[in-house]
């Protein structure tokens, strides 16, 4: 079909779409359009043409000259109506359709043959882009967009005059719409019902209002969180001013405390403001400028406090870090904050110059006991004039002399693991250089423990000379350690360790919540767990102790879990091989006593424990601990894992224990172990008699390179080993042995054995379906009266094992 003039000279590349860009008419289209027009005019001018009601009648009439024009007006096939041109001489040839009928608009009918949202309309004339079309809507639309199909043609999307989809209810029953076909759309000249537009606008406004209100709610919530965080920053840990100096009138007993502002050191801190005061140690608090809370004056460390009853502030001193129990402490002053600490030596204050957290001795103090004897073994040294009861960064100078002039020495914090000095190890921070009968001194800053001690060790025996210059003490003023004033996290049920002064405070506050221990190293004298807590970490965590108390004691706790990466470190020496030097001093990494319903799952490590890494006793609920334990790692412990005193019904899996005196010690019944590795220990599995002993199982466990793979003593109820491996070579002849003493019911099924087997006269053991390493396994030794049953065992040399019976 020839293009119309409107199409040839359209304004835009895509007709009716300004965004498609201006259209430059195509000259061949112009020529074709003009040629058709000329032919039409010539035909009209040269002959009268003809008009037919149907195309069939026209095709049957060929008695017209070439180029004669004809109109088809009322063919039932709408597309057959149009203007035709005669091809060929009269009596021959054919007719071809060359143009639409020249009507300016077409009336169509929507009789409801379609749906409210997919209209089907019919017309007597073909619907084309050259004519305007009008029809009456049969029924209102119920969705958007809406389409219309004319005379069975492809559906066209109805667009408003502005190019938008029709709104729901925009076409109402009886509405006359007037538009034209543009590409795949039917663009209205009239527009949809205003009420629908208003309704859509109102709905959009309501929705926007809802989003606005929701956003305002989020804003208010975010503001509350921000205010809580700001409160935490400005409250707990806050300290301004309050520097302490020696009073020039009485250097022996008096201290001057500068004006200051500080937060009390507790979970719900309050702010304290005070003016400059002088406090006398030789006068009890409450009398004049008396500042001594304690009953008597003494040498040693004194801590200076600001205390409040909520209204007034008192300044005083005590040798205790908790002054509230002191004899002269004011009644009702329940909140307090340590402002600093000073040391009294030989009946007088050491003179200190304070600048913020830095405390400098006015007169550097030679270390008591100089020279200090140094050996290649680590030793602790309490520094002179350094406060105790708190950790500080000690400042001192040290020189080192030794007959071994190539050796250096190292001073480290007791809070970290000891390491040998030397270039191939931890290096040295104290050199050995002699200058005209003097030895050069290096300045060090080392963190002390609460006893004011540092650790020294030499590359060779020698002497150290130390002069103490001062210390750094943050006085609890790390402003980012405080949490919200309520002492709980702003994130609902989550508590973070950084919100509290101590890890114990965080654990206590997290009862019924989730505790996140921030990645880093912590030192404790013992932590006490709580029920209904989930403990996890934000990264690797190390918790160290120098006491024999449990590092984490979960006694009487129920419904709790520990996840993440936590390393528990004691103060034992490193395991050196069978029989080793480790002892059981009662130290424990995690203690489980009378616990129930718990989960340990992660990378939980125990190192250098003078006792048991994981220690379990006294099951709750009819002997049933009901615990799941996964991911235990232990090294250099006396016991990696120990179950005793009717601790029962736990399942321990995915564990790895090496270089321990006893990898696993079991003195209780019904404990299941699976998928474990126990290598390079003195004893991998130690079974011992006790109430309701043994009758548990080890499944898919490895027991290699140890003196004893299994040592069972006084077992009356048996133990099962399924698919396990026992090989060894640590202690020479007899390595990797299975030793059964006064025990019955020991069953080994499947797996592999490469170690000697011995039974005494009162023991019974069954070995079945195993692979035997004959190069590592001698003839079983069974004392008279003992029973050793061996069935279906395969030798590595081929065939059945020679000692099957």
Q: Do 605 and 698 fall within a single domain?
A: yes
The verdict on residue 203 lying in a domain is no
What share of the chain in percent tops pLDDT 90? Answer: 53
What share of the chain in percent tops pLDDT 70? Answer: 87
Q: Do 637 and 750 fall within a single domain?
A: yes
Residue 453 CA to residue 367 CA, distance in Å, equals 12
The verdict on residue 169 lying in a domain is yes
**Strand 132-136 and strand 105-109: pairing?**
parallel
Cα Rg for the chain, rounded, in angstroms? 47
Helices of type H across 172-296: 194-234
Q: Do 186 and 260 fall within a single domain?
A: no
Q: pLDDT band at 602, cuts 50/70/90?
A: very high
pLDDT tens digits for range 629-680: 999 999 999 999 999 988 898 999 999 999 999 999 999 999 999 999 999 9
Residue 291 CA to residue 306 CA, distance in Å, equals 11
The verdict on residue 726 lying in a domain is yes
Give pLDDT, residue 10: 85
Q: Among 308, 334, 349, which residue terminates a domain?
A: 349
pLDDT at residue 270 is higher than 90: no
The verdict on residue 724 lying in a domain is yes
pLDDT at residue 765 is higher than 80: yes
> Which tokens in the block code for residue 127?
């619907």
Q: Among 192, 222, 253, which residue terminates a domain?
A: 192
Q: Do 594 and 645 fall within a single domain?
A: yes
Range with lowest mean pLDDT among 69-73, 204-208, 635-639, 788-792: 204-208
Give pLDDT, residue 11: 87
The verdict on residue 609 lying in a domain is yes
The verdict on residue 298 lying in a domain is yes
State the residue range of the domain holding 55.
5-99
pTM: 0.47
Range with lowest mean pLDDT among 253-267, 302-316, 331-345: 253-267
Q: Do 179 and 308 fall within a single domain?
A: no
Q: Do 95 and 134 fall within a single domain?
A: no
The verdict on residue 212 lying in a domain is no
Give pLDDT, residue 480: 37
> Which tokens in the block code for residue 546?
């120098």
The verdict on residue 552 lying in a domain is yes
> Which tokens in the block code for residue 316?
């005083």
pLDDT tens digits for range 494-529: 888 888 878 999 999 899 899 999 998 999 999 999
> Which tokens in the block code for residue 567?
């390393």
Q: Do 342 and 363 fall within a single domain?
A: no
* Higher-confidence position of 578 and 385: 385
Residue 42 CA to residue 231 CA, distance in Å, equals 95
* CA 550 to each of CA 130, 298, 588, 686, 795: distance values in angstroms, whole numbers, following the listed order: 94, 33, 4, 22, 47
Q: Do 19 and 60 fall within a single domain?
A: yes
Q: Among 311, 331, 349, which residue terminates a domain?
A: 349
- The strand pairing partners of 599, in sequence order, are 561, 628
Residue 525 CA to residue 547 CA, distance in Å, equals 6
pLDDT tens digits for range 166-176: 988 889 888 88
| Burial annotation 587-596 (CB, 10 A radius, 16+ → b, else e) | bbbbbbbbbb
Residue 341 CA to residue 469 CA, distance in Å, equals 15
Longest dimension (CA), the chain: 143
Q: pLDDT band at 375, cuts 50/70/90?
A: very high
Q: Do 524 and 636 fall within a single domain?
A: yes
pLDDT at residue 487 is higher than 50: no
Give pLDDT, residue 219: 66
pLDDT at residue 288 is higher than 50: yes
Long-range pairs for 162-167 at CB < 8 Å and ≥24 separation? Answer: 163/187, 166/141, 166/192, 166/196, 167/192, 167/196, 167/197, 167/199, 167/200
pLDDT at residue 753 is higher than 70: yes
**What's the structural domain count of the chain?**
5
In total, the chain counts a number of residues equal to 805
Give pLDDT, residue 79: 82
Residue 132 CA to residue 535 CA, distance in Å, equals 75
Q: Do 257 and 338 fall within a single domain?
A: yes
Give pLDDT, residue 278: 96
Chain mean position to CA 589 = 24
> Other CB atoms closer than 10 Å to residue 191's CB: what's the count?
16
Range with lowest mean pLDDT among 89-93, 352-356, 732-736: 732-736
Give pLDDT, residue 404: 87
């Amino acid at each position: 079909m020839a293009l119309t003039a409107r199409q040839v000279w359209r304004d835009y590349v895509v007709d009716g779409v300004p965004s498609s860009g201006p259209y430059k008419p195509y000259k061949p289209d112009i020529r074709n359009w003009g040629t058709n027009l000329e032919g039409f005019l010539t035909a009209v001018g040269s002959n009268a043409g003809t008009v037919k009601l149907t195309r069939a009648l026209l095709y049957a009439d060929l008695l017209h000259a070439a180029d004669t024009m004809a109109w088809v007006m009322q063919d039932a096939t709408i597309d057959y109506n149009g203007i035709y041109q005669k091809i060929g001489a009269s009596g021959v040839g054919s007719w071809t359709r060359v143009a639409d009928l020249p009507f300016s608009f077409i009336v169509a009918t929507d009789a409801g043959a379609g749906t409210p949202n997919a209209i089907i309309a019919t017309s007597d004339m073909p619907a084309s882009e050259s004519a305007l079309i009008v029809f009456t809507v049969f029924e209102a639309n119920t969705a958007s967009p809406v389409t219309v199909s004319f005379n069975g043609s492809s559906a066209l999307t109805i667009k408003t005059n502005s190019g938008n989809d029709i709104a729901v209810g925009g076409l109402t029953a009886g509405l006359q719409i007037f538009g034209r076909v543009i590409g795949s759309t039917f663009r209205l000249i009239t527009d949809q019902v205003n009420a629908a537009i208003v309704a859509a606008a109102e709905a959009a406004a309501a929705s926007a209002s809802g989003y606005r209100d929701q956003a305002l709610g989020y804003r208010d919530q975010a503001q509350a969180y921000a205010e809580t965080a700001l409160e935490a920053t400005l409250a707990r840990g806050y300290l301004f001013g309050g520097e302490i100096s020696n009073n020039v009138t009485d250097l022996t007993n008096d201290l001057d405390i500068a004006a200051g502002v500080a937060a009390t050191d507790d979970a719900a801190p309050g702010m304290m403001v005070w003016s400059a005061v002088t406090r006398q140690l030789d006068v009890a608090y409450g009398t004049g400028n008396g500042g001594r809370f304690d009953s008597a004056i003494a040498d040693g460390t004194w801590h200076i406090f600001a205390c409040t009853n909520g209204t007034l502030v008192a300044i005083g001193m005590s040798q205790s870090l908790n002054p509230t129990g002191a004899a002269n402490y004011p009644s009702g002053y329940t909140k307090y904050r340590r402002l600093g600490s000073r040391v009294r030596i030989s009946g007088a204050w050491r003179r200190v110059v304070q600048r913020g957290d830095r405390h400098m001795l006015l007169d550097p103090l030679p270390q008591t006991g100089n020279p200090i004897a140094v050996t290649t073994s680590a030793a602790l040294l309490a520094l002179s004039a350094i406060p105790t009861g708190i950790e500080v960064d000690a400042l001192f100078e040290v020189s080192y002399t030794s007959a071994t002039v190539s050796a250096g020495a190292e001073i480290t914090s007791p809070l970290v693991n000891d390491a040998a000095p030397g270039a191939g190890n931890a290096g040295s921070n104290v050199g050995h250089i002699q200058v005209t009968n003097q030895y050069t001194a290096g300045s060090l800053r080392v963190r002390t423990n609460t006893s004011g001690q540092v650790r020294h060790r030499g590359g060779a025996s020698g002497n150290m000379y130390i002069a103490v210059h001062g210390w750094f003490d943050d006085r609890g003023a790390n402003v980012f350690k405080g949490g919200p004033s309520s002492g709980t996290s702003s994130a609902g049920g989550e508590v973070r360790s950084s919100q509290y002064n101590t890890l114990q405070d965080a654990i206590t506050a997290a009862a019924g919540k989730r505790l996140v221990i921030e990645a880093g190293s912590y030192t404790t004298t013992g932590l006490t767990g709580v029920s209904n807590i989930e403990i996890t970490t934000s990264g690797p965590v190390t918790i160290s102790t120098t006491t024999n108390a449990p590092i984490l004691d979960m006694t009487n706790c129920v419904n709790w879990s520990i996840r993440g990466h936590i390393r528990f470190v004691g103060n034992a020496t490193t395991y050196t091989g069978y029989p080793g030097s480790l002892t059981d001093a009662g130290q424990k990494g995690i203690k489980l006593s009378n616990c129930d319903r718990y989960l340990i799952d992660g990378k939980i490590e125990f190192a250098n424990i003078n006792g048991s890494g994981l220690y379990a006793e006294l099951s709750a609920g009819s002997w049933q601990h009901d615990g799941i334990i996964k991911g235990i790692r232990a090294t250099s412990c006396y016991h990696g894992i120990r179950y005793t005193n009717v601790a029962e019904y736990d399942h321990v899996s995915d564990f790895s224990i090496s270089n321990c005196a006893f990898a696993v010690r079991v003195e209780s019944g019904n404990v299941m172990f699976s998928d474990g590795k126990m290598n390079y220990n003195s004893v991998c599995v130690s079974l011992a008699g006790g109430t309701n002993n043994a009758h548990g199982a080890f499944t898919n466990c490895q027991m290699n390179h140890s003196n004893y793979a299994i040592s069972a003593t006084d077992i009356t109820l048996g133990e099962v080993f399924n698919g396990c491996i026992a090989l060894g070579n640590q202690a020479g002849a007899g390595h990797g042995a299975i030793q059964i003493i006064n025990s019955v019911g020991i069953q080994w099924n499947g797996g592999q054995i490469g170690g000697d087997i011995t039974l005494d006269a009162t023991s019974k053991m069954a070995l079945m379906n195993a692979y035997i390493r004959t190069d590592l396994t001698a003839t079983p030794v069974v004392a008279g009266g003992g029973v050793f049953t061996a069935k279906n065992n395969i030798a590595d040399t081929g065939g059945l094992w020679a000692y099957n019976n």
